[in-house]
Structure formats: structure tokens, C-alpha cells
Structure 1
Amino acid sequence: MSTEQDTTAPPPGTAGGSRPRWVTDGLIDQWCAWVHRDETRPHAVEPRTALAPFDLSPIAPVPSCAPRDVSAAVAAASAAQHRWARLPLARRGEIVLAFHDLLLTRQDQVLDLIQWETGKSRYHAWMEVAQVATIARHYARRAARHLAPRRVRGMVPGLTRVTQLRVPRGVVGIVSPWNYPLYLGVGDVLPALLAGNGVVSQADPQTPLTLLWTRALLDEAGLPTDLWQIVAGDGPTVGNALVDAVDYVCFTGSTATGRTVAERAARRLTGASLELGGKNPLIVREDADIPGAAAGTAVAAFTNTGQMCIHVERVYVHEKVYDAFRDELVRVTESLRLGSSYDYDSDLGSLVSAARLAGVTAHVEDAVAKGAKVLIGGRARPDLGPLFYEPTVLEGVTPEMDVCAAETFGPVVSLYPYATDDEAVALANRGTYGLSASIWSKDTREAARLAALLRSGSVNVNDGAAAAAGSIEAEMGGMGDSGLGRRHGAEGIRKYTENQTVAVQRLMPLGPPLGQSALKFVRTTNRQLALLRKLRVR
């Protein structure tokens, strides 16, 4: 396994540990000013300082919010939302497209911030920029179509005119995780804003600067100052207060926390969309292109160092090609370059925290202790940085091992042989998750047929995970313990609206005319219903 190592000097383009040279204290102060705080009252909540994964140096103290700050942020966003909703949708789209252009122009800045806060490789950070730019373009151009009023047939054809409208929910609360601070932090904000809502986002304690930088960029693009508010702090304090105050919740994170969010929102009859955990399967059929399937599996398993909700953790390989696939996957994995450079020379970066490193290590050690074999990887790399862990391929994994069914959320993948397609589908459908899946086969028609049998929100054929996730016009989400609701596509913006029906009655209201008995009205209406049936109306 090739690596990049520089233990004596900071990565290129940085100074003072892993901190990017261009990031000054003054800039950090400007970004932190976007955290909504009630400055008229003293705060007992201390700022939080995350640690940079590349070297565990402190990043920057970021203000923490109290519940009253969350309430004030929601109130400010609500006041701004009433004005924003009256703005023509085309004008909202212009602001989002201006943000799109600024994002592409300034992308090196946010790439540095993403790497600094998450420890991921630069290419994996760039994938977030590309995804957010695509989302911005899509919804800026398609929002009018997705939200267009729709005429439907009324109670009495010709007399009742009915239109269904999409109206904003009000203030949307967005809770996004650290693993994709730009894509998940901003990709859900843009359609919520375009739908006419105000937004209050909770910045994850590990990655607040990426979100705050983006908020400043949208301000430069022309977004009203109070419309998108950011609060910062821990989930039990700030997250709960946010769910208790907004009109709709968009949450991305663990299944355990998602259940808590759903229960809390349900008590207020507040709608929620939840993208949660996964233990995603990949099937290699007997006729698969083995080099392509192995390369695709490595991408699907190790992108973002495996810290991705849709990354592959279980690989089911037809027994007749198992050995060839195993050997090729090991070869591809061995070629991956680990490093902490702020350039495109590293394939994989670091894990994000000591807790993640401990979790990944525990899964692998438990598997090995119970008889699994490490084909490659399986160890931390403190020589590269405090949180580096080698991409790892296991075989001989059995159900009593933690890695078999529990989400690892790290650079670990397990191989399992199978004999028939039916067996592969049954194995892939094991467990309670259902987020993403993959099938590799030269017979794409048969693979598509098998895809429909998988209990998964997205299924990729001859791709690991990116094809479905990157197809912004198609909805993406989970089944079972992997969540509720969808992002992307029409549903990705419509979920931020209420469906309002407006019925206009012409000539007379429904019901018996003045002076007519109810019995006569019923008899007349029954004859009309029978006629409509005969005429095949509806």
C-alpha cells in the first residue's frame, strides 16, 4: 500500500499545523459572526473548538448557542421569510445561480476548509463542490416546474374549479453531519430557500467553518441577511431546541438520533425528512467485468475514508469469480495513496476523530479475534497522522462479528461468496437498513431486474454509489432504518412545501338550492352520479 508521509513539516499550503495559510483570525471572526446569538444577555455556554483530524491541532473557537438563541434565530428567519416568499421565484433563482458562480470561483477556499475540518482528501472534498453546484443549477432552473400550480377536476365538472398550490412551510430546520459539511450542509438549504422558506441550520461542532463560509458566500450572492440563520452547539441542547421551534425538519445522521428527531417532531405534528444509516451491499455477478467491479468497489467502499452513508460495507461475490475478484480488489486497494496534503496527490485522507478511529479499530479487531482474515489493511497509521487507518478488506466474516451487520462507517469492507442470484438478493436484503446498493454485471437488463428485488432506496448498476446520488433529478433516500423522505428530484424541493387546495365554486354553492328539499336534491344527485359513471367520468 503506497503512502505519502511528511511527519516533520505541515502539509503544502498550510502554516501552524494543518491550518491553511490564508485563513486569518480576522476571517474566522467574520465567519463566526454569522452564528446567531442574543448579545443582549450574557451567555453561559462556552465556545467550542474542534480538532483538525490531520494533526489534532485546535481549529478555532466557535460561539455556542443556548436554546433562547435558537428561538431568536427562528423568529428572525420567520420575519424574513414572509418577505422572501413574496419575491418572484425567478429572482430567488438568480441569487442561487449567483451563489453557484461564486462557489466555483472560490472553491479552493472551501476545499481547504473541508479538508482542515474533516481530514478528507482534496478530491473527495471537491466532490462536494461539484454536487452542490449541480444542485444549485438544477433547482434554480427547475423549481418553477416542480412547484407549479396544478389544475385538477373539481367536485362538479364545469362548476367547480380546483387548483393545487405549493406554499412554503415557513421556517425549515436543517441538521447536517460532519462527513459532508458542504454537500449535506448546503445541498438541502438551497431547495428549501427556493421553495420560499426561511432556514435555520445547526452547524455540526466538527465542521462549523465550512457552513459559516458558505453562509457568507450566499450573503455576497444577494441572499437576505436574516433569511438563513446558523446556530451552533451540541445536539441535545441546540438540536432539540431547533426541532422544537421550526415548521419542518431535515435531518441527516445516525438512525438512533433520527428516531429521537422523529419522535420529537411528531409530538408537535411537525413534518420531517430523515436520511439515516446504512450497511450497504454490493453484488458481483458471475458475468461481471472483474477489473471494473474491483475498481468500483474500492471507490464505493473507501471514498471519504468510508465515512459516507452510502458507502459499501458488504460485498457478495459469485463463487465462480470470487478468487479473481478478491485478488483484484486487494491489488486496487494496495495502490491507494494515503496522505494529508492540500492537493490532489492523495487518494484517501484521515478519519475525522479519535472516536471514529476507535470504532473502526474495534470492528476489525473483533472480527479478527473471531476468525476473520485481513486480506489487506487492518491497522492504524500513526506515522501518517493520528487518525489515519488503512483501507481494509476482510473475508471469513460471520454473523457473530460486529462488522457483519452493524454500520462501521470507516474504510472497511467484507467479502462473502454466494452461489445463485436468489441467494445474493436474500443476503443483500438482510438487516433493517435500506439506503444504497450496487450490482455489477454485463447483463444490465438482468441486473436491473434484480435491482427491483433489493430493499434499497437507490440501486446502482455497474457503479458503486455515485451514479444514483449524482443524478440530481432523481430522488434519493432510504427504506427501513435508513430513513424517511427523499432529497433531490421533485420531492427534494416539494417536501419543503405544503400542498394547498383552492376550490372556486361557480354559479351556486354545493348542496340543495334554496327552497329545495334534501330528499329531492339527493335523488337528483344520484341520477347525476349514475350518468357520470355511464360517461366514464373519472
Structure 2
Amino acid sequence: MPAPAPAVFTRLSALAAIDDVDARGTRVIPETFTGEPLGTVPVGTAADVEAAFGTARAAQPRWAARDAAERAAVLDRFRGLLVRHRDELMDIVQAETGKARWAAQEEIMGMLFAARWFTRNAPALLRPQSVPGAFPLLNRASVRTQPKGVVGVIAPWNYPMLLSVGDAIPALLAGNAVVVKPDSQTPFSALAAADLLYRAGLPRGLLQVVPGPGTEVGTAIADSCDYLMFTGSSATGRTLAERAGRRLIGFSAELGGKNPMIVARGANLDRAAKAAVRACFSNAGQLCISIERLYVERSIADEFTEKFLRAVGTARLGAGYGYTADIGSLISAAQLETVTKHVADATSKGATVLAGGKARPDIGPLFFEPTVLADVTDEMECGRSETFGPLVSIYPVESVDEAVRLANDTEYGLNASVWARTKADGERIAARLRAGTVCVDEGYAPAWGTTGAPMGGMGTSGVGRRHGADGLLKYTEPQTVVVTRFLNLDTPPLVPTAVWQRVLMSITRGLRFLPGR
């Protein structure tokens, strides 16, 4: 199956929110599998961001005034279009990222999960909620939601559709407009998803996609938006958090991870070894929630390692738009260099290569073998730093207690995986881990796909959450409205002030007997 036709990228390029393409210049986007050009995309500037926000701010009040159920209907039509166009969307994602087709399908599934959960639940979550007033009968209180205004989304390249337009879904449902900056390496994926939203009936002004460099376009979005959603490195997240803090706007971020898997005695080692291949090497390891550390109880370490290496050895590394490959390409020369350096650094300091360890230019310019290391120490770059590539280290441990201690011995806290004798044992281990999500008897996908639950990190792995009620309501401002009936708190006529104050105090003390007080 060939790469998508050039006409596809020409059409998508025209959807970018950039007025004067000739004045701004263009960037050539290569097909990751081969390095050959796919198409060109205009390069935005701060002026384009300013114009995009002007358009978005003009469109947002009319959108917010529509009933939440009407907004949900638009997003539900978008969900239907995702299903209908999933093959061409996967083609575009693969062309830009080089991932295997099953990993590209993860993006479509993730957006389907998000669109389904938010469209079904947003109207109820956004409905005014009654709460007890300060004084029974006298006060009727409700909590309402108001949209933030225009949300800025700065998206990464590793899941360029899901983490750009996918993150816009709850923001739009909450009544906001959105300005998206896709990563410069993967603009077409975001534009393709935006195109389906427009076809579903979303007013064009509400979602603006501005490709361009982070130093200019990303900074301008951070300095213009009413709320900022970012996915990327912890270092960039800190910088953006500082900018948001200076402006006193809300900020949410999913950042890096050095995610552990614990394999305890009694676990099903065949299942654990097979699932670990997906958990470690999905999207060639370029996934914030993928596994980079394997802690295995020593009594089963040799057996697990043998099974895991056998599974790694049968994984198919390859390029193509069909389901013939298990592991795809890295995204860029910079990622290839990072993985190569981490392996070289580790082996030079005493680590043992159990599998892989080499680039594979015979397959494509950016391919690297799935690599398993042993004898890794904290002095090695890959010991504590995120590689974000097809590299995992395996550590035998004496006990589950030691595994938990080592798993938690990190600045990160995004995702973890646990395999134990029983589900109950796995849940008990999970409760001891400092991670935003933990999968028992899987790697990462069930936690990600559970869209009704919050998803995010602890420590330097993130701030705030996506998914669930938190992932919707973060894009709103809560507003408390209290209606006073019958009489207010002024002292009634003919009643001495001291008597009235004693009455108020008596009522206040008596409220403790009422439910919810």
C-alpha cells in the first residue's frame, strides 16, 4: 500500500490558519519511512497566532450560547466521520510518524473513546448543580460552568492527531474555541482531524490550526490563550507553566515518564512477556506512558527474561501501510541519535545488550532495533533519564517491596504496569506506586482507553488531568449563584441587633444536623 497521494496534503495544507502563505514561507514534511517529501505546509508566525485568536474570540460566544447537547451533537457526528475515514487517517499518521499501523489505529481508537465519553457525559456535567445554601429556605444555591474562552493546545509529534484535536474535543464541548499548534514535524495529522470536525458542522472559526515553530507560534499561543494544554517534555512544560503562572491562567500538561513494570512471582509469564513487547515498543517506544524499566523478582527473572527476549526476537520491525510490522520507525534523526547515544553510553559503562542495540538503515533511515539492556546503573544516561525510544532495561529484584521502592525512586510518575499471582495482589501493589495510572495485567492501553477516569502524571510527569470529569471541567470556570428569598440578612424591623445575631448563630449551629453540612 503506497503513501497517501500528494493531493491529500495539498488540500490539508490549505486548512492551516495562515493568511499569506507566500509571505510566511513553507516547510517540507517528509515521509518518515523513506525521507521522501509528502507535501509542504505553511509556517506560521506570531502575527498568524494573533489573527487566529481574533477569529476564535469572535466565534466563541455564539458557540457557548448553544445548548451543550447541540455542541455534543456536532462532536458525535465527528465521531461517525472518524469511523468512516479511519483508513485514510491512519495513512496520514503513519506517513508523518513512521509508526506501525496498529499503533496508528490507537490514535483513532483514542479519539473515538474520547468523543463517545465526552459527548455522552458533557451535557450532564455542564448542567447547573444544586448545592445547599448558607441558610435553608432563605438561600437557593447552584454551581454553573462558564467556558474559559479560547484554549491553546500545543501538541507533540508522537500522537499528533490524538494529542492535538483529541485534546480539543472536551474544550469545544465545554463551550470554548481552540487554537492548536501541531508539532512542526506532524502538522497534517492535526489538519486532517480538524477537517473532519469542520465537515461535522463545527464553525470554522472555532478551531484554528497554526503550524509553526514552538519558539514563535507556541510562545504566542501561551501568551494569548485563556487556558493552556500542553503535551511534551518536562523541561518545556516547566517553561510554559512559568508563562502561564505569570499570566494567572490555567495550565495542564502531560509530560515525560520513566515508567516501570513489576513482574512478581506467580504471574503468568507468557502473557506478561508478550504484553511487555507492546508496552515497551509501541510507536518504537516514543510514547510517554510506555515502559522503560522492568523489575522482575529474582526467582523468576531468568524465565521471564528468556520469554521476553523470545517475544522481542519475533517482533517484526518494518515500514509499510499494512499490518505487516509490529514496530515502526523513529520520527527523526534527533530521536535516532538519542537512542544511539543512550545505548553507547550504557554499554561503555558496563551494561549488557540482551537484544537489539543497532540502527537498521537497511529498513529505513530512522529505524532502530527493539533493544533490551541488563546491568544498567544510575550512572548511565538511560538509567534515570527518559530515552523515548525502543530501549528498556531489565532489573532482577529480591522482592516486591524492593521493586516498589525502585519503581518509585524517580522524579517521574506517569504510568506503571503490574503483573502478579492474582488480580487482588496486583491491585495491592498498584496502590503503593506513585503513578497517575497503573495497569494490572496490561501495559498502558486500558488505562488510556478508560476515558471516564482521569489521566495524567505525578511529580515531573505532569500537572492536571485529561479524560474524565476533570478533563472536561478544567476548561471551565465554576460560578456560584445564590438566590436569597423572603428576607436578607439585615436585622428585621423591631428586632434588636443583638437578638438577631444570636438567632443567626443558633441557626448556624443547628445546620450541623442537616445532611451535607
What is the CA distance between 1:87 and its match in structure 2? 1.4
Are positions 1:283 and 2:266 aligned together?
no
Amino acid at match of 2:344: E
Moved more, 130-139 or 330-339: 130-139
Instruction: For 1:450 and 1:58, locate their aligned partners in 2 and report how far apart those are by CA, in whole Å.
Output: 48
2:509 aligned with 1:530, yes or no? yes
Deviations 1:190-242 (A, max 9, x none): 11111111010002111101111111111111111111011111111000100
Aligned match of 1:510: 489
Distance in 2 (alpha carbons) for counterparts of 1:437 and 1:271: 27
Equivalent residue for 2:17?
36
CA–CA separation in structure 1 for the residues paired with 2:293 and 2:103: 21
Q: Please state if 1:470 is matched with 2:453.
A: no
Give 1:115's aligned residue.
94
Q: What is the CA–CA distance in structure 2 between the aligned matches of 1:334 and 1:504, rounded to whole Å?
A: 68
Corresponding residue for 2:217?
Answer: 238
1:73 aligned to 2:61?
A: no
Amino acid at match of 2:130: R
Q: Where does 1:68-147 land on structure 2 (aligned, <5 Å)?
A: 68-147=47-126
2:337 is matched with which residue: 358, 366, 378?
358
Q: How does 1:427-438 map to 2 (within 5 A)?
A: 427-438=406-417
Matches within 5 A, 1:403-482: 403-482=382-461
* Amino acid across the alignment from 1:219: Y
SS in 2 for 1:487: coil
Bigger fraction of residues in helix:
2
Moved more, 72-81 or 377-386: 72-81
Q: In 1, are the aligned partners of 2:265 and 2:421 still within 8 Å (CA)?
A: no
SS in 2 for 1:530: helix
SS of alignment partner, residue 476 of structure 1: coil
In the TM superposition, 1:392-403 aligns within 5 A as 392-403=371-382
Distance 1:163 1:516 in 2: 31
After superposition, give the CA deviation of every residue in 1:431-462 in whole Å (9 maximum; x if it has no partner).
Answer: 10000001101222122112111100001111
Report if the CA contact (8 A) 2:141-2:482 is conserved: yes
Q: Deviations over 1:253-293 (max 9, x none)?
A: 00000001110011110101110000000000011111111
CA offsets, 1:52-85, max 9 Å, x none?
A: 2211222322111111211111121111110011
Count the aligned residue pairs.
517
Over the matched positions of the two proteins, sequence identity in percent amounts to 47
User: 2: distance between equivalents of 1:229 and 1:82?
Assistant: 16
Amino acid at match of 1:421: V
Deviation at 1:520, TM superposition (A): 3.7
| C-alpha separation in 2, matches of 1:510 and 1:75 | 45
Residues in 2 aligned to 1:400 and 1:51: alpha-carbon distance in whole angstroms: 36
| CA RMSD after TM alignment | 1.5
Q: 1:365 to 1:75 in 2, by over 3 A?
A: same
CA distance in 1 between partners of 2:100 and 2:345 (Å): 28
Residues 534, 176 of structure 1: alpha-carbon distance in 2 compared, 3 angstrom cutoff: closer
Report the 3-state secondary structure (helix = DSSP H, G, I; strand = E; otherwise coil) of the residue aligned with 1:272: strand
> 2:271 maps to what in 1?
292
| Structure 2 residue aligned with 1:4 | none
Picking from 19, 23, 31, the partner of 2:6 is 23
Q: CA contact under 8 A between 2:254 and 2:457: conserved in structure 1? A: yes
Q: Identify the residue that residue 154 of structure 2 maps to in structure 1.
A: 175
- 1:166-205 maps to which residues of 2 (within 5 A)? 166-205=145-184
Question: Kindly tell me: are residues 396 and 158 of structure 1, through their superposed partners in 2, closer, same or farther at Cα, counting changes over 3 Å?
Answer: same
- Distance, in Å, in 2 between the alignment partners of 1:432 and 1:373 is 25
**TM-score, normalised on structure 2?**
0.97
Please give the alpha-carbon distance, in whole angstroms, between the structure 2 residues aligned to 1:306 and 1:407: 10
SS at the partner of 2:296? strand
Matches within 5 A, 1:305-320: 305-320=284-299
Unaligned runs of 5+ in 2: none
Alignment equivalent of 1:212, drawn from 191, 208, 212: 191
Deviations 1:21-65 (A, max 9, x none): x331xx4333222211244xx975432223322112223221111
3-state DSSP of counterpart to 1:111: helix
Range moving further from structure 2, 382-391 or 53-62: 53-62
Q: Which residue of 2 aligns with 1:344?
A: 323
CA distance in 2, matches of 1:23, 1:315: 43
CA contact (8 A) 2:148 2:477 kept: yes
Q: CA deviation at 1:95?
A: 1.2
Which letter maps to 2:466? R
Could you tell me how far apart the structure 2 residues matched to 1:534 and 1:77 are? 49
How far is the alpha carbon of 1:139 from its aligned partner?
1.0
| 1:521 Cα offset (Å) | 3.1
2:302 partner amino acid: D
Structure 1 gap segments, 5+ residues each = 1-12
Partner secondary structure for residue 481 of structure 2: strand
How far residue 508 of structure 1 moved from its aligned partner, in angstroms, is 2.1
Secondary structure in 2 aligned to 1:114? helix
Superposition deviation, residue 532 in structure 1: 3.2
Give the counterpart letter for 2:13 in structure 1.
Answer: C
The 1:520–1:477 alpha-carbon spacing in structure 2 relative to 1, beyond 3 Å, is same
Of the structure 1 ranges 54-63 and 316-325, higher mean CA displacement relative to structure 2 is found in: 54-63
| 1:534, distance to aligned residue in structure 2 (A) | 6.0
**Which moves more between the two structures, 90-99 or 336-345?**
90-99
CA distance, structure 1, for counterparts of residue 166 and residue 493 of structure 2: 56
Q: Say whether 1:331 aligns with 2:310.
A: yes
1:447–1:535 Cα change, 3 Å: closer
**1:219 & 1:534 partners in 2: Cα distance?**
53
TM normalised by structure 1 equals 0.93
- In structure 2, how many angstroms separate the alpha carbons of the residues matched to 1:52 and 1:372? 34
